[in-house]
Amino acid sequence: MKNKHYEPPFTVDTPNVITPDLLEPIEYAYKSKRSIDIKITQPEYTSVCPMTGLPDNGTIIIEYRPDAHLVELKSLKYYLMQYRNVGMFYEHVVNKILDDLVLVIKPLYMKVTGEFTPRGGISSVGSAEYIKP
């Protein structure tokens, strides 16, 4: 049996609409005194399946140790909202978020995890890490 690619009955954006320009770095004022580990949880992440256009939901967890900059949280919220109508596989979502955040805030360490809501009885969790060389 041949796999069919189903065309969604509505418009699904491509990943090229997502821009890291919305992310705002802010100075980490305690850089010279101590490190800090930060964990950000976004439990209302949404995008769409690139194959069917059906909604994908989950939790995005961002853990990082900043160098000179933090990510401003409102800018992160608006950045993540860009994914709402974008068709992307889970694994690509996690890597794209990591790449964009590393580009903007240049952390010492960062890990992005996506815990996606089960669909059809299958759940998926993916993580990607960055360590500053």
What is the set of active-site residues? 49, 56
Contacts of 26 (CB under 8 A, 6+ apart): 69, 70, 71, 72
Paired tokens of 72: 């401003």
Phi, then psi, of 123 in degrees rounded to 5:
-105, 160
If 0-12 CB within 10 Å is exposed, 13-18 middle and 19+ buried, where does residue 11 land? exposed
Paired tokens of 116: 């996606």
